[in-house]
Structures are given as structure tokens and as C-alpha cells.
Amino acid sequence: MYNRDVRINMRKFESGDFDRLWQMDQECFPPGIAYSRLELMHYMRRPNAFTVVAEADGEVAGFVVGECWNSKGHVITLDVAEPFRRQGIGSKLMLECEARFAQTGCTASLLETAVNNFPAITFYKDHGYVVLKTIPRYYEGSLDALLMGKKLSNTTPPRSTPSAREKRNSRPGSE
């Protein structure tokens, strides 16, 4: 169920957030897909990377790490803590990430997700992503991933409210 009473604030990552973000990644993804501390820190520190944190009523509720490279944006990870799912936070994080991509001249957004992560696949499709190809043995050398992508427009500002479809489609899993 969609909860309209939660106040969501998007902000830049602060160094004191790291432990909470890493813990959230461990909770959102199974071993082998969740990032180690070193991996997450590496991706967050890449030259063209950014991290946006979502707070709900003052508590860290989710985050997205993205990077721009050669006119393409790459969503490295998008995590929403279990108690805050189905409240539009994942959608707001995705829209903020895509807006940042577009503002830096990216014409497309790409991401990978496990072939068995059906809630994520549905979430991304609902946000206009299409499957571009399957990447064999992407996770731990055994689980395939889907490479998904979307063309971006640099004239589309981020939405401030979820669509009717997002309100209607409550689903479990990390967004």
C-alpha cells in the first residue's frame, strides 16, 4: 500500500552515511550480489559517480549510486530498506538518478539485474527500461544478469509524485 504521509528528502551522500548504506545493501541483496565494503566504496568514489540518499521522516530509507561515462549513465545500485518499500522511494531515487544523467549529457541509462529478481525487473520495466541482452554468469560466475536500458531526455525534470501505476503496483523486493 502506498503511504502518502511519509516525507521524503533527497540529499547528497555524506561520509557518515557509509556504514548504513553498506548495511542496507547487505539486507537488499543476497551474498554474492551484495557489494563488499570495498566494492561499494570503490563505486561511490569513481570519478564520474554520485550517490543520492533518500531520507523518510529523517531516517535513511534508500540510496542510489550512478555514474556517467561516454554519454551513458549506469545505475550501479538502487537500494530501499524493507520498511520503506512501496512508498515511492525507489521511484524517486530512479528519477533523481536519471535527471542527473540527463543533466550531464547522458542519452541513455543502463543497469544490470539478476534474471531471477522479478520485482526489480518489473520495477525497471515500469520505469521504461527494456531488456537489451542477457549477460551469462554475471553474478558469482553462475547467475545470469539482464542488461536493461532506457533512452533519456535531458528536458524531463524529476517527478515529485508517483504515477497512478506506481501507486497501484505494490510489490515486494528491493526496487
Q: What is the pLDDT of residue 161?
A: 43
Q: Looking at the domain 8-167, which fold is it? A: Aminopeptidase (3.40.630)
For residue 7, what pLDDT band results from cuts at 50, 70 and 90?
Answer: confident
Average pLDDT of the chain to the nearest whole number = 88
Q: Quick check: 127 and 84 in contact, CB under 8 A?
A: no
- 31-40 residue pLDDT tens: 989 999 999 9
Q: Report the predicted TM-score, pTM, of the whole model to 2 decimal places.
A: 0.84
Tell me the mean pLDDT in the region 6-22.
Answer: 94
Q: Is the pLDDT of residue 169 over 90?
A: no
Q: Parse the chain into domains and list their residue ranges.
A: 8-167
For residue 4, what pLDDT band results from cuts at 50, 70 and 90?
Answer: low
Name which residue leads in pLDDT, 164 or 150.
Answer: 150
Q: What is the pLDDT of residue 84?
A: 94
Please compute, for residue 31, the number of CA atoms within 13 A of its CA located in the half-sphere on the CB side.
Answer: 0
CA distance 137 to 100: 30
Q: Is the pLDDT of residue 154 over 80?
A: no
- 47-63 residue pLDDT tens: 999 999 999 988 999 99
- Whole-number percent of the chain with pLDDT over 70: 85
Residues of the chain by 3-state class (helix, strand, coil), percent to 5: 30, 35, 35
Q: Distance of alpha carbon 37 from its chain centroid, rounded?
A: 18
Q: Is the pLDDT of residue 163 over 70?
A: no
DSSP string, 99-138: HHHHHTT--EEEEEEETT-HHHHHHHHHTT-EEEEEEEEE
Q: What is the pLDDT of residue 50?
A: 98
Q: What is the pLDDT of residue 57?
A: 87
Tell me the mean pLDDT in the region 150-160.
Answer: 65
Q: Quick check: 110 and 97 in contact, CB under 8 A?
A: no
Q: What is the pLDDT of residue 41?
A: 97
CA distance 49 to 29: 21
Give Cβ neighbours of residue 2 (< 8 Å, ≥ 6 apart). 86, 87, 88, 162, 166, 167, 170
